[in-house]
């Protein structure tokens, strides 16, 4: 509507002159002004807008007049927070809140955005069939995820040859990449691998040495 319009028939403040009253949708082709239309009727005599002064333009007329969305009509909107990915280091934290009039539901939205570092959480997933571990880092707030792989590899060598009087056993070499913690234990049975070094043999024969690798 044009400036100084107070009544729904276009009459200006003071009851003289007219302006345009235009339709619109706030947020599209209009905006919330902090006022709403109101009209009253006396339950006893039926006089319209009798709560206004008798000299007011709207007294006794079938028109609406603008009333401000006073503080007593105002309620707070619940705060809402969402996160949007920005880059590999930051995301946007968007906080939305506002107020609305309980009478007309006119709403003032408030939105703030700021960059924050990702809130990263690390999860290690074993992929032993591929001789590796997947290190998955993901932000607990937004959808950002980063995955790295490190190799977990061991090589086993045994002795097959003539009896030479020297002690022989299996040799396990850990060839895993840096960052992989490896523990190797040996034993005489699959159920009991508790030795830190493999048993040695000097006599002729075929011996089974059990080992367990923990990553």
Degrees, nearest 5: CA angle 179-183-185: 165
Does residue 97 have a pLDDT over 80? yes
The confidence band for 36, taking pLDDT boundaries of 50, 70 and 90, is confident
Return the top range by mean pLDDT from 4-18, 82-96, 122-136. 82-96
55: left (phi over 0), alpha (psi -120 to 50) or beta: alpha
Taking the complete model, does pTM exceed 0.85, yes or no?
no
């Amino acid at each position: 509507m044009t400036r100084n319009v107070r009544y729904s028939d276009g009459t200006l403040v003071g009851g003289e002159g007219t302006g345009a009253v235009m339709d619109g949708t706030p947020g599209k082709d209009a905006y919330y002004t902090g006022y709403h239309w109101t009209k009253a009727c006396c339950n006893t005599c039926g006089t319209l807008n009798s709560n206004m002064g008798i000299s007011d333009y709207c007294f006794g007329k079938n028109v609406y007049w603008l009333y401000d969305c006073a503080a007593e009509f105002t309620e707070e909107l619940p705060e809402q927070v969402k996160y949007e990915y920005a880059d590999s280091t930051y995301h946007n934290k968007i906080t939305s809140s506002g107020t609305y009039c309980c009478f007309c539901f006119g709403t003032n939205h408030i939105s703030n955005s700021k960059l924050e570092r990702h809130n990263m959480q690390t999860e290690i997933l074993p992929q032993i069939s591929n001789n590796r571990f997947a290190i998955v880092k993901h932000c607990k707030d937004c959808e950002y995820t980063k995955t790295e792989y490190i190799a977990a590899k061991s090589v086993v060598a045994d002795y097959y040859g003539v009896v030479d009087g020297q002690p022989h056993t299996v040799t396990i070499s850990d060839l895993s990449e840096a960052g992989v913690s490896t523990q190797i234990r040996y034993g005489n049975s699959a159920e009991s691998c508790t030795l830190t070094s493999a048993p040695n043999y000097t006599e002729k024969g075929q011996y089974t040495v059990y080992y367990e690798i923990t990553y």
